[in-house]
Every structure is written in structure tokens, then in C-alpha cells.
Amino acid sequence: MSDTPTITTHGAKNALKVAWITYFPIEWLPDLPPELQGLPRLHPATWQRVLWEEFRKDETLDLHILVLRKSFLKSMRFRRGNTTFHCVKTMPATRGPTLFWFDTILVSRVLKEIQPDVVHAWGTEYGGAAIAGRLGYPALVTMQGILTWLGSVFPLNASMKLSRLAEPGSLRKAHVVSCESSFAMKYLKDRYPHLRLLQVEHAPNRIFSEVVRQPAMKPVKFLCVGAFQLPKGAKVVVEALAGLMNEYDFELTWFGGRNLELEQTMRVQTGESLWKRVTFRNEVSPDEIAQELSKTTIFLHAALADNSPNAVKEAVVAGIPVVATQTGGIPDYVIPGMNGLLFKSGNVDDCRRKLKEALEHPRFSKGLVDLETLKQMRAYLSAETMAKKFREGYEMTLRHDPRSPRAEQGSFATAGVVR
């Protein structure tokens, strides 16, 4: 890259050199170089930032984070402690349409300089897994969503459709894969039996475990986090709450982007009285979400399909009762009767029944959960546990990916690679 410092090794002499291929949200970081300030804020991907914060403490790691964006003015790199961020400028209309082969060329040039011990490919979204499968480096693939599954439940946008096309081939070439939920473990094992799988829950920001709860009682405060869209369960939430208008005094706050066309349609169907109880906010920081969670009585999540939603985890570790759709990994940490209730995906009547049950529950109606369950879930979803397991994942990759010099003999047949 031009106008960038020479790559050097950080940390201990024998530090493990790991390169992330990712959509890391650098625009959310403080103290960015002047050339990167003012970038539009995209998805915050808080789980990656949480892991990075943990890894920053580890002097045995030399971490390189590759971020590809067409919005960069130029390619450049900058350092933060044991981490070098590589900002790689891409060309418009060259990513998805080439099934990420143009990105593969760009990434291969950077990795040739870095010479990592392990590559960590974050997701099949935006081609991370596809790129890693074409290169000659040991690679841990981390599933964020499972696009093949999600696309069978609701329509994907154009970008995700292209990523979905590359997903099956990426997973057939992969050797070691991490995923968050027990659902994902079974889904991948059934379809890709050659994979070595590692379950690693992506931890929420630790500030959510430190929320001081003062739940509202009159009116009851519901909170939804996510885009106001059909796949995120917007219609389910609105119709379920509309049926409770005459029985309960409540307010709903919705954090996320608005779909004005859908909103208008729902207003016509349900009447304006419900919407006087609804407040929308967008582009909220983790601190602002934590502040809202302190007052929330019940957290509501109605996505039609979701692998392991971070918003639900944030509510769980904050100690808020959760009423959520029974999909993906949510049943791993929302335990019916202990810290929440689950309803059938897309089922408005079941959602309404579970909301009524929560509003009549001796604990949930007061915004409280079982304390022993809260303790267990905070440990299960901790940043420390996440970092420990990903370090194990890197070691597993070095042992079992045939592209690794340390790979055990006979683990797998080597796929065609570019290096």
C-alpha cells in the first residue's frame, strides 16, 4: 500500500500472527487518522469490536485487520497497540458481481506482506469465507449468519444474494469453522460433515452486563432493536401489540432503520392510537442502548430467522426478560420461565399470548429475571469466554488445516489455493 509504514511484528518474539478478513466497523473507533474521519457509520458489528478489545490485551498476538471499502479515499494502514488495521480501497461494482475474486486479488497482496500464521475469515457475507478458501493460508471461518438458511425463510437483498451464491462452495473448501449456536452447529454438521466445528458465542459489549436496572412499571416499556422490516418481525410485533391495546398500558421504543412504506401500511391496518405509543430512534450508540435497557421492562425480538442476534444477548446479560421468536440460537440463552419466553416464528397469535404471559408473570411483569440464570448467561456470553475460545480456534486451525505447516497428517485433502 502506498503512503503506509512498513509492517512490523508486535508483541512477544513468537507472537501468533493472525489476519482478519472482515467488514470491521473502523468508523466506530475513536481517534481515527484524518483520512478516515467522516466515514459513514455502517453496521457496528459490536461482537468484532468486543473480541478486538480482548485481544488487545494479549501480547502473544500480532493482529492484522483487513477492511475493504470503496468509500476509502485511498488504501492505507494504521496501528493500535498489537493491531495493524489495513484499509483497502476497492473499486465500485467489483465485489459481489465478481463473486469476490477482485477482493481476493487485493487481499492476497496484503497477506503476502503480512505472511500470517492464521487467517480469520469473518462470515460468508461480503466474501470473507470465499476469499480465505482461495488462498494458501490456514483459515478459520466464522459464520455470522447462515445465508443459505436465512434465504429459505425470507428474501435476501441483492448483496446478500450474491454472498449466498458463494456460501456453499466456501464451506466445502473450508476446514475449520466456528459458529455461535447449537442450531448452527447441527445445521452445518448435517450439510458439511467434513468440517471441524467449534461453537463460540459472540459476546455483547460488557457495558450491558453492568446496566443498573430501574424497569418502568407504568407504563410498561417494550424495546425492539433492529431494522423495522418484515424479516425482523416488524409486522408480527405491531399486530401482536395492537391486540393488547385495551388490556395493558405500554410503550414501545424501536431502535433501528425505518421502512416508511411498511410503517404506513401498518398504520392503516392497526389505526393511529397504537402509534402514539411508539417511538423510533436510529444510529444509537451502545451507551444509548444500555441507557434504554436500564428502563426497559420487557425486550421483544420477533425476527423470522436469526442465527444468534446480538441485541437479544445484550438484553439477556442486562437482566431483562426477553420475549423472542424461537429460532436459531436464541433458545441457547433465553430459557422459558427463567429469563424470558419463546414464541413460534412469524406467529402473531403466539407472540401475543407470550406477551400476555410475560405481562402477568410474577417476575417478568416487574422487569426481573431469575438471578441464577442471569449469572450463568453472563458467564456463557462473556468477552473472556469468547476470546479464549477463538484462541482455541486458531490452534485448532493450525493443527487441522492442511495448509498449515503444523497440520496433522491425513486431516483433509488440500483444496486448490492461490498464494
Instruction: Say what the pLDDT of residue 44 is.
Output: 85
66 shares its domain with 139 = yes
pLDDT digits (tens, 9 = 90+) for 357-375: 999 999 999 999 999 999 9
Cis, peptide link before residue 219, omega less than 30° from 0: yes
DSSP-derived pairing of the beta strands 76-80 and 83-89: antiparallel
Report if residue 150 sits inside a domain.
yes
User: How far apart are alpha carbons 383 and 319 in whole angstroms?
Assistant: 17
Instruction: Say what the pLDDT of residue 285 is.
Output: 86
Instruction: Say what the pLDDT of residue 131 is.
Output: 96
Separation in Å, CA 13 to CA 57, 62, 392, 393, 396: 16, 10, 20, 21, 21
CATH number at residue 344: 3.40.50.2000
Cis, peptide link before residue 44, omega less than 30° from 0: no
65 shares its domain with 138 = yes
Number of domains in the chain: 2
Q: State the pTM of this model.
A: 0.89
Give the 3-state secondary structure of residue 38.
Answer: coil
Q: Where in the sequence is the domain holding 55, given as residue range(s)?
A: 16-203+385-400
Phi, psi of 70 (to 5 degrees): -75, -15
Q: What is the largest CA-CA distance in the chain?
A: 67
Residue 311: Cβ within 10 Å count: 23
DSSP state of 135: B
pLDDT tens series, the chain, 419 aa: 544 444 555 555 689 999 999 989 999 998 999 999 999 888 888 999 999 999 999 999 999 999 999 999 999 999 999 999 999 999 988 888 899 999 999 999 999 999 999 999 999 998 999 999 999 999 999 999 999 999 999 999 988 999 999 999 999 999 999 999 999 999 999 999 999 999 999 999 999 999 999 999 999 999 999 999 999 999 999 999 999 999 999 999 999 999 999 999 999 999 899 999 999 999 888 899 999 999 999 999 999 999 999 999 999 999 999 999 999 999 999 999 999 999 999 999 999 999 999 999 999 999 999 999 999 999 999 999 999 999 999 999 999 999 999 887 654 444 433 33
214 shares its domain with 193 = no
258 shares its domain with 319 = yes
Cβ–Cβ under 8 Å, residues 189 and 195? yes
269 shares its domain with 292 = yes
Instruction: Say what the pLDDT of residue 5 is.
Output: 46
Report if residue 5 sits inside a domain.
no
251 shares its domain with 392 = no
Instruction: Say what the pLDDT of residue 409 is.
Output: 60
Instruction: Say what the pLDDT of residue 14 is.
Output: 85
User: How far apart are alpha carbons 47 and 222 in whole angstroms?
Assistant: 24
pLDDT digits (tens, 9 = 90+) for 130-143: 999 999 999 999 99
Cβ–Cβ under 8 Å, residues 351 and 327? no
User: How far apart are alpha carbons 344 and 129 in whole angstroms?
Assistant: 31
Per-residue exposure over 106-136, b if at least 16 CB sit within 10 Å of its own CB, e if not = bbbebbeebebbbbbbbbbbbbbbbbbbbbe
Cβ–Cβ under 8 Å, residues 151 and 110? no
Cell 423510533, located at residue: 280
Cell triple for 308: 444468534
**Which class for 397: exposed (0-12), middle (13-18), buried (19 or more C-beta within 10 A)?**
buried
Residues 6+ apart with CB under 8 A from 405: none
Report if residue 406 sits inside a domain.
no
Report if residue 50 sits inside a domain.
yes
For the CA atoms of the chain, what is the radius of gyration?
Answer: 22
Terminal alpha carbon distance of the chain: 18
Instruction: Say what the pLDDT of residue 1 is.
Output: 53
Report if residue 302 sits inside a domain.
yes
User: How far apart are alpha carbons 390 and 385 in whole angstroms?
Assistant: 9
169 shares its domain with 317 = no
94 shares its domain with 195 = yes
Report if residue 390 sits inside a domain.
yes
247 shares its domain with 316 = yes
395 shares its domain with 256 = no
Report if residue 297 sits inside a domain.
yes
User: How far apart are alpha carbons 261 and 318 in whole angstroms?
Assistant: 33
105 shares its domain with 176 = yes
Cα 120 versus chain centre, distance: 15
329 shares its domain with 211 = yes
DSSP state of 418: B
